[in-house]
Amino acid sequence: MNTGIPATLVIGGGIAGMQAALDIADAGFQVYLVEKEPSIGGRMAQLDKTFPTLDCSSCILTPKMVDVGRHPNIELLTYSEVIGVEGEVGGFKVRVKKKPRYVDVAKCTGCDLCAQACRLSGRLPSEFDAGMGKRAAIYIPFPQAVPLKAVVDPEHCVFLTRGVCGKTFLCKEACPAGAIDFEQQPEFVDLEVGVIIVATGFDPFDPRLKPELGYAIYPNVITTLELERL
């Protein structure tokens, strides 16, 4: 790795952000890749085929995800968001907030036993599947996720929302590695970088804004992303 040269911050772990991070890291420079979701991959991870060649999306994306996760010059900060930037080109000071996963990533093996044991298993809409599939309150976003670690949904976890989860923590009992940690708190990381690349992707159009399309009115009207995840 080149020393004495400012590192690069890439915001967004989709295909564009990952490619930028890999190109810079392969040239020997330090890269910090910040992704707000629990896994990198972005929208492309939700797609089956890519236009116009109809190449397999995961065949293109998955190797890049693995390379990012293993690259010695890339520090991956998932489930994190940039909350402050100061300075100028060549000397930025950036503060990053790492949200608590309530799972010790150093211990989690990605076995998914916690999700299977969760009281809400199969009852919550999966964001990755655009609501077409179900997940638990503790879950791994998708089978090829990087990092392949579980994360707790703080808005639906019974313990985090009510302060109690029955007579026992089913997820904790099911975890053979003892990785569940409800004591986790947000962490703040301060970075010094010379360049910032913003590759935050996009949000699909909300068809509810055009009621004449019939979305959310007729059950057989779906979006193209929902079609991808059927």
Side-chain half-sphere exposure of 160, counting CA atoms within 13 A = 18
State pTM to two decimals. Answer: 0.93
**Averaged confidence pLDDT in the chain:** 96
| pLDDT band for position 1 (cuts 50, 70, 90) | low
What are phi and psi for residue 153, nearest 5 degrees? -80, 105
Alpha carbon distances (Å) from 127 to 40, 43, 141: 14, 11, 8
pLDDT tens digit sequence for 118-160: 999 999 999 999 999 999 999 999 999 999 999 999 999 999 9
Rounded to whole angstroms, how far apart are CA atoms 140 and 138? Answer: 7
pLDDT tens digit sequence for 175-209: 999 999 999 999 999 999 999 999 999 999 999 99
Residues 192 and 91 occupy one common structural domain: yes
Residues 69 and 146 occupy one common structural domain: no
Total of domains in the chain: 2
Q: Is the pLDDT of residue 3 over 70?
A: no
pLDDT tens digit sequence for 47-70: 999 888 999 999 999 999 999 999
- The strand pairing partners of 125, in sequence order, are 134
Residues 30 and 135 occupy one common structural domain: no
pLDDT tens digit sequence for 67-94: 999 999 999 999 999 999 999 999 999 9
Range of the domain at 48: 7-99+186-203+217-229
What six digits make up the tokens of 156? 């639906």
Rounded to whole angstroms, how far apart are CA atoms 115 and 170? Answer: 9
Residues 13 and 78 occupy one common structural domain: yes
